Amino acid sequence: MILDRFRLDGKVAVVTGAGRGIGAANAVALAEAGADVVLAARTESQLEAVAERVRDLGRRAHVVAGDLSDPAATAALATRAAAEFGRIDVVVNNIGGGLPRPMARCSTEFVEKAFRFNVSTTHALTRAAAEVMLRGDGGAVVTVSSVVGRVAGRGFLAYGTAKAALAHYTRLAAADLSPRVRVNAVAPGTIQTSALAAVIEDDAMRARVERSTPLRRIGTPEDVAAAVLFLATDAGAYLTGKVVEVDGGLQSLNVDLNLPDP
């Protein structure tokens, strides 16, 4: 049956940034599909809450709390996952982010930090996990990029450039790791998370964002998780090197992503 291709029974997934928002939704979705999950983020209490949801689905969960802004820490997740569960089949690189800042206030150090937090951490875990995958049955990597990696808007110079780099990193890593490890990404648009709440200042701005979106709503973490599940399972077995836009249609329009003056 075609729906069997969306299953991950007997598989192990590693999800970074799994304590809340998109990362938590990804972890639960993968567990619903049958995967055991290694959950990593900074706040242990948040991770434990998500781990309980995974266990309630009858799957195993292993929590790794720590500062994942260090690429060495993300790379170590592959070792922890292999030691705990004996294999890695899926990696979801969800760690990343960054606050808006106009160019006049973007120091070189600020830009380098955005690349380290978004690109370097992704590469560190992808490389380490791929070594484990290639010793086993292969696997799938899905990275969370952003619509801001393609659509220009004031205030997103560091963050948007780093996310754009992730899109091409996805294509290059897919070429290097094919055919046994598939590498894809999702590019969310406006998704209801704590990060979005920091940008949308009031109801009027929220209404403007909704009007600018062809589907006329702000997305949910589960909207992103559904796309990640497709790419992580055999449902997406003939896709690699792709960036799937989960944005309500934002990238099909000339969208105004500009922030108000700081």
Per-residue pLDDT in tens (0 to 9) along the chain, 262 residues: 899 999 999 999 999 999 999 999 999 999 999 999 999 999 999 999 999 999 999 999 999 999 988 899 999 999 999 999 999 999 999 988 777 788 888 899 988 999 999 999 999 999 999 999 999 999 999 999 998 878 877 778 888 999 999 999 999 999 999 999 999 999 998 888 877 776 777 788 888 888 888 899 999 999 999 999 999 999 999 999 999 999 998 876 555 555 444 4
CATH of the domain spanning 2-245, picked from 3.40.50.720, 3.40.718.10, 3.30.420.40, 3.20.20.70: 3.40.50.720
The conformation of residue 144, written as its DSSP 8-state character, comes to: E
* The residue to which tokens 């991770």 are assigned: 47
- Give, for 16, the enclosing helix (H) or strand (E): strand 12-16
Domain ranges of the chain: 2-245
Q: Are 212 and 182 within 8 A, CB to CB?
A: no
* Active-site residue set: 159
Distance between CA atoms of 133 and 81, rounded to whole angstroms? 11
The pTM (predicted TM-score) of the whole model is: 0.92
Tokens of 157: 């110079």
